[in-house]
Amino acid sequence: MSTDKFSATVDAALLAQVRAHAGPRGLSAFVAVALQHELDRVRLRELLDELAEQLGPPDEGMVAEAVGELTALVHQARTAELPEQQRATTT
């Protein structure tokens, strides 16, 4: 993988928060992940817009079902990260 340097101007308070969260992996690694996440989000939005254009917007029932499934998946993932004793009390 080749790399390239760039300069960015950001709010000082935001940069302080990012530095605090970046920790040992460093600011460059944190920013690279953040940039990739934003690109993924933009691409997903483009895909959803394209699908809505082709198929029409999803109905409310479909949205509610998807939100329910996503909520369950997030809960499942978070529960899996807990130590064994905590898992027993949260399920």
Q: Are 73 and 62 in contact (CB under 8 A)?
A: no
Cα dihedral 58, 64, 68, 70 sign? positive
pLDDT given at position 91: 54
pTM (2 d.p.): 0.67
Does the structure show a pLDDT above 70 at 84? no
pLDDT at 83: 72
| pLDDT value at 88 more than 70 | no
pLDDT value, residue 1:
84
pLDDT digits (tens, 9 = 90+) for 28-80: 999 999 999 999 999 999 999 999 999 999 899 999 999 999 999 999 999 88
Domain residue spans in the chain? 1-57, 58-91
Token pair, residue 49, equals: 């817009």
Please indicate whether residue 83 or residue 86 has the higher confidence score (pLDDT).
Answer: 83
